[in-house]
Amino acid sequence: MRDDGGPQRWPAGFADGPANRRALLVLMSLRGLTPRALLGVAERERTAEACLATVRRGDAGSAADRAFARALDPSEIEAAVSACGARFVAAGSEEFPAQVENLKDPPAGLFVRGRPLPARYGTVAVVGARSCSDLGRELSRQIGRDLATAGVCVVSGAARGIDAAAHEGALEMGGHTVAVLGCGIDQVYPPGSRALIARIAERGTVVSEFPPGVPAEPFRFPARNRILATLGDALVVVEGAERSGSLISARHALEHGRDVFAVPGAITNPLSHVPHTLIREGATLIRGVEDLLDDLKLNGENGQPVPLNVTLAEQAALDVMIGSVLPEKVARELGVSVADVLPLLMTLEMKGLVRSVGGRFEPTLRARGRAREPAAS
């Protein structure tokens, strides 16, 4: 296993084919086998089927894992996934989000209800206190509304308070919103969010790394937060008391190079603790929705996106960058050589319109959120 702190990747073809997918469903149902531990086994064994055989032999996992691995029927897990209207998306598959693959301990798969998960660009997470103030709730709802109006997907955790308000604001404007659960994909937590989660599943996306039947337990939420924080290009914190989970989410976001924004409050208000801590650590202070949209370059004159100052060649490159792509793909689409494309991509990176991740290039939120108006070439 890697020990340099960088992301680990699931082996190519790890979950390819029905046998490997069924084996992976069993592996993801084992309570004691964390993604990090399974990654170590996968590095040696290369396929999910081989990893499951290793666990069943007792060469990986705990004694409880071994017993469960022998007893679990993957057909029953598949039936439970289908019964709640979900689908299983294995790491490495087309629908699995590339930004989640870049985690240090990426899940081997995700359980998804509703629309496909969004790309990293054009997606913003909003998190904060469950027991929030009325002002914080309304601000979060307005942030959800305005982000949705700007075409941005809103990610949150479906908890009461700030999370629920952000989801509701996005839904009010007909926008895409994603709820990341800290329990099985068929579970509802908190119970009061049942109607909200149902609406999100119908009009947006509900996602969990936990299979059906897994209850909501405190230790699962920090794991949930790492996915929530890295699905988008930025994260906004609206209120949070000391030891709040929103601080964990924000630190995950910062660790993975996401922009973090925080709404300040009165210094005597305990709910200001997390935003003020983050601002001291370098997060961007925002006073409200207008600041957020301005900083994300989504708020031009008369509410219209600000044009990008790009040449015709740069615009053409941006147009073919649907997601994270290799320079060779951009060159092939444009009908030019890689040698011609690399300086173009470097210029776009200097302008803050693309970023390089592991040899691939992807548009930033700034590029996706603003209108393109080519400058003179």
Confidence check: pLDDT of 305 > 60: no
pLDDT at 368 over 80: no
Q: Check residue 355 and give its pLDDT.
A: 78
Whether the predicted pLDDT of 301 surpasses 70: no
Of 7-11, 103-107, 132-136, 240-244, least confident by mean pLDDT is 7-11
Assign 302 to helix, strand or coil: helix
Q: Which CATH architecture has domain 123-204+215-299?
A: 3-Layer(aba) Sandwich (3.40)
In the predicted model, what is the mean pLDDT of residues 180-190?
Answer: 96
The pTM for the full model equals 0.80
Integer CA distances (angstroms), 95 to 120, 280, 286, 295, 322, in order: 13, 37, 33, 29, 14
Q: What is the chain's mean pLDDT, rounded?
A: 89
* pLDDT score recorded for residue 297: 76
Lowest mean pLDDT among 36-40, 109-113, 184-188, 369-373: 369-373
* Residues across the chain: 377
Domain boundaries, the chain: 17-114, 123-204+215-299, 308-374
pLDDT > 50? residue 6? yes
Is 308-374 a domain of CATH 1.10.10.10?
yes
Find the helix packing angle between 327-334 and 338-350, rounded to 10°: 110
**CA quadruple 208, 212, 213, 218: dihedral, nearest 10:** -10
Per mean pLDDT, which range of 6-10, 139-143, 153-157 is the poorest?
6-10
Cα–Cα distance, 184 to 348 (Å, whole number): 41
| Structure-model confidence comparison of residues 297 and 140, the more confident one | 140
Per-residue pLDDT of 215-256, as tens digits, reads 999 889 999 999 999 999 999 999 999 988 999 999 999 999
